[in-house]
Amino acid sequence: MNTIEIRTRSREDFVDLTADIERFVTASGITSGVCVVTAPHTTAGITVNENADPDVRADLAMALRKIVPDTLPYTHGEGNSPAHAKAALVGSSVTLIVEGGRLKLGTWQGVFFCEFDGPRARQAWVQVLGR
C-alpha cells in the first residue's frame, strides 16, 4: 500500500491525485489489474471527474452545497455534519483499471481527493493489484 500526503487549502477543496497515482502504478510493475484509491476520512472522499477545466471542480462544490446546505437542523455535535453528508454522497474510494502498466482513464478524467471539512492534513491510500 502507498500513501499520498495531502494538505488541503480550504473548507472544500478538490485535489488532483492523478499524477501521484500514476507513479505508484508504474512503480508497482503491474501491467494488468486494478488500482484502489481510498480516503481514510469520514469528511472527505475520492472521485473521478474532468481534470481539464477547474470550473468543473467549482461546479461540483456548488452542487454539493445546494444538495447538502449548512442550514439544515443537524444533530451531530461537531458542527461538520454537512461534510459527513457530502463525503457519503461522493464515496470514500474508487477502483480503476490498470492495463499496459498504466491507469485506464478517459481523455479528460482525473482522480480527485474531495475535502469537505478543511483545511487539513489528509491522506489517500493507494493499492495496486494484479499481474
Number of Cβ within 10 Å of residue 32's Cβ equals 11
- For 7-23, write each residue's pLDDT tens digit: 999 999 999 999 999 99
**Cβ 119 vs Cβ 13: under 8 Å:** yes
- Plot region of 98 (φ>0 → left; ψ -120 to 50 → alpha; else → beta): beta
- Residue 99, φ and ψ in degrees, nearest 5: -145, 135
pLDDT at 91: 98
The per-residue pLDDT for range 58-110, each reduced to its tens digit, is: 999 999 999 999 999 999 989 999 999 999 999 999 999 999 999 999 999 99
Q: Respond yes or no on whether the N-terminal peptide bond of residue 40 is cis (omega within 30° of 0).
A: no
Give the domain ranges of the chain. 2-98+108-130
Summary count for the chain: helices (H), strands (E):
3, 8
Q: Which CATH class is domain 2-98+108-130?
A: mainly beta
